[in-house]
Chain A
Amino acid sequence: AQSVTQLDSHVSVSEGTPVLLRCNYSSSYSPSLFWYVQHPNKGLQLLLKYTSAATLVKGINGFEAEFKKSETSFHLTKPSAHMSDAAEYFCVVSDQGGSQGNLIFGKGTKLSVKP
């Protein structure tokens, strides 16, 4: 069965410093992987997705993630944090071999950005 683990429930960085949000996955098939962002009391917005093309995926707002099969990881990074990046981030996996279309969400990482 597929699963996703976000290793940090809360990450705090200073504005202008790099961001690293960690995600490890488990999947029986070639996975599709996503990162979503959720601002307080709002719906989720897709940041980026990996679907077996290039392993380094660039998303919106300067975020990117690298798919590393050997490490079963899909960490989200950004070179320089902005105050507006403060939100909760979800790593998501789905199996291409699955028929139910179940997107499995991690528990989320809350990113705080200090001025």
Chain B
Amino acid sequence: SQTIHQWPATLVQPVGSPLSLECTVEGTSNPNLYWYRQAAGRGLQLLFYSVGIGQISSEVPQNLSASRPQDRQFILSSKKLLLSDSGFYLCAWSVGDTEGSVNTDTEAFFGQGTRLTVV
């Protein structure tokens, strides 16, 4: 069966410090991978998605970046955190297709999330 791991579960970082959140998926190959952010009182916002190694699409220009160094590894980073980066970050995966596109019919499977507080 497929599983998704996301860590750490909670993180408190000072303004200006770097960030690295990691997500890995097991039990599937060539998944589509996503990073979402949930700010207080808001729905989830898609930050990045990836249909393959080294292929990253950014939905919202911001202080964050993403990388996919391996097929089932997705990393969210920042060089210098801002107060506004605080929120709940969720990694997700869905079944990829052979054409490298995203099938929006399929459900997304979410990690447990990381609560980031920037102080």
Contact = CB atoms under 8 A, between A and B. Distances in A.
B24 interface: no
Interface residues of A, number: 26
Tell me which of B41, B92, B105, B112 has the highest count of chain A C-beta atoms within 10 A of its own C-beta: B105
Nearest to A97: B104
Interface stretch (A13-21, A42-50, A70-78, A79-87): A42-50
B61 interface: no
A103 B108 contact: yes
Contacts of A94: 104
Contacts of A51: 105
Given A41-B113, A42-B112, A43-B113, A34 B102 contact: no
Interface in B49-105: 49, 57, 59, 88, 90, 92, 94, 101-105
Contact of A96 (B4, B49, B105, B113): B105
A99 to B, nearest CB: 6
Interface string A90-115: 10001110111111011110000000
Tell me which of A100, A101, A107 has the highest count of chain B C-beta atoms within 10 A of its own C-beta: A101
B102 A100 contact: yes
B81 to A, nearest CB: 20
Interface of B: 4, 6, 9, 32, 34, 36, 41-46, 49, 57, 59, 88, 90, 92, 94, 101-105, 107-113, 115
Interface of A: 6, 32, 34, 36, 41-46, 49, 51, 90, 94-96, 98-103, 105-108
5 closest A-B pairs by CB: A101-B102, A43-B110, A94-B104, A105-B43, A105-B44
